[in-house]
Amino acid sequence: MQLIRRLFVAVLTLGIPFGISFAAAHAQSPAIPASLPVLGAPADWQMTLQPPHSPVKADMVDLNHLVLIIIGIISAFVAGLLVWVIWRYNAKRNPVPSQTTHNTVIEISWTVLPVLILVLIAIPSFRLVYYEDKTYDPDLTIKVTGHQWYWEYTYPDKKNLDFSSYIIPDDKLKPGDMRLLSADNPLVLPVGKNIRILQTSGDVIHSFFIPALGLQRYAIPGRTIETWVRIDQAGRYYGECNQICGTNHSRMPIDIVALPQQQFDAWVTQAQKQFAADAAPAEPPIRQATSSGASAIAVSYQGQQH
């Protein structure tokens, strides 16, 4: 019984703060237009990459197609060669096997050709690595901090607007929300702007991953890693932490809302007011102005100081 009682207390200790923080954050979330299309999300029986909605993701898709074409040609050539060898050099057609051990032309070919193929793949690969690294003269900077198990978003250019984003529990989902992907406070970004994203972590290694936008960077404690994005269309984009970071690793969704500039500016104004109100310290309780009460408060304060 004592063990069960301790487990029950532990569950309450871990669960109640999460529930309270979610309820408070979800209730204070600034309004997001309900008519936004979902442009970046997994689909049933999806076999290919999600459609690109940023220039980096578009280049990733192009590189993926290039590599698939090269792999397809190589696979077809090798398969055809194996079939031809099986047909041409079986025991019936070739009772006396050849004793050839060297062929200069073939040996040079199967050395040089793979090198040329790798160079063909490497050129766009290195270009893409440098392209997705950072943007110069960004229109907006966002700081993303990973925590167990939620995200914290900071807008240094918007008076350090700061808020946390938690997963919406299954019993709190509303029509249009996506299970395990919708968050109470989404990351809101403007459309068509170069946005610098700085990632770090407050505890363990996390990963900021949004497939449709071509974003994937590790959030490492003590380090700040940079990347960027330019979203081409207003809508909602979903991702998640794809680095195993503890018990609730699967409950760290990334919910991004892309808005036109005017709607984004209006959201920032509203968010600054609402999240500032949430962060305001609570007023101390009213106490009776008695000498005994004042003495008790003074003794308590002095005890804390010592």
- Give the tokens for residue 81: 């060669």
CATH no. for 136-279: 2.60.40.420
What confidence tens digit (pLDDT) does each residue in 28-49 have? 467 787 788 999 999 899 888 9
Show me where the domains of the chain are located. Answer: 55-95+104-131, 136-279
Model confidence at 5: pLDDT above 50: no
Using a pLDDT cut of 70, give the percent of the chain over it: 81
Mean pLDDT score of the chain: 83
- Give the pLDDT score at 29: 61
Contacts of 129 (CB under 8 A, 6+ apart): none
- Per the model's pLDDT, the better-predicted residue between 73 and 32 turns out to be 73
Model pTM score: 0.76
Residue 301 has pLDDT above 60, yes or no: no
The pLDDT value recorded for residue 296 is: 35
What was the pLDDT predicted at 67? Answer: 96
Nearest to 31, CA basis, from 230, 231, 257, 253: 257
Cβ-in-10-Å burial (0-12, 13-18, 19+) of 266 comes to middle
Identify the pLDDT of residue 94.
Answer: 81
- Pick from 141, 163, 137: which is nearest to 150 by CA? 163
Q: Name residue 215's beta-bridge partners.
A: 210
Q: What's the rounded mean pLDDT across residues 112-140?
A: 93
pLDDT at 4 over 50: no
pLDDT of residue 110 exceeding 60, the answer is yes
- Compare 2 and 191 and report the one with higher pLDDT: 191
Residue type, 200: T
CA distance 276 to 234: 26
Q: What is the DSSP letter of 250?
A: G
Residue 22: the pLDDT is 46
Residue 85 in tokens: 């060898």
Which SS3 state, helix, strand or coil, does residue 146 take?
A: strand
Write b or e for each residue in 95-112: b if 16 or more Cβ atoms lie within 10 A of its Cβ, otherwise e. Answer: eeeeeeeeeeeeeeeeee
Q: What is the pLDDT of residues 269-299, one digit of tens each?
A: 999 998 887 665 544 444 444 333 433 333 3
pLDDT for the residue numbered 10: 43
Residue 38: Cβ-neighbour burial (10 angstroms; 0-12, 13-18, 19+): middle
Q: Which residues contact 207 (CB under 8 A, 6 or more apart)?
A: 146, 216, 217, 218, 219, 241, 242, 243
The mean per-residue pLDDT over the stretch 194-221 comes to 95
For the cut 50, the answer to whether the pLDDT of residue 14 exceeds it is no
pLDDT at 209: 95
pLDDT of residue 32: 81
Residue with tokens 């600034």: 30
Q: What is the pLDDT of residue 2?
A: 53
Task: Give the mean pLDDT of 183-209.
Answer: 95
Kindly tell me if the per-residue pLDDT of 142 is higher than 90: yes
Question: How do residues 167-187 score in pLDDT, each as one tens digit?
Answer: 999 999 988 889 999 999 999
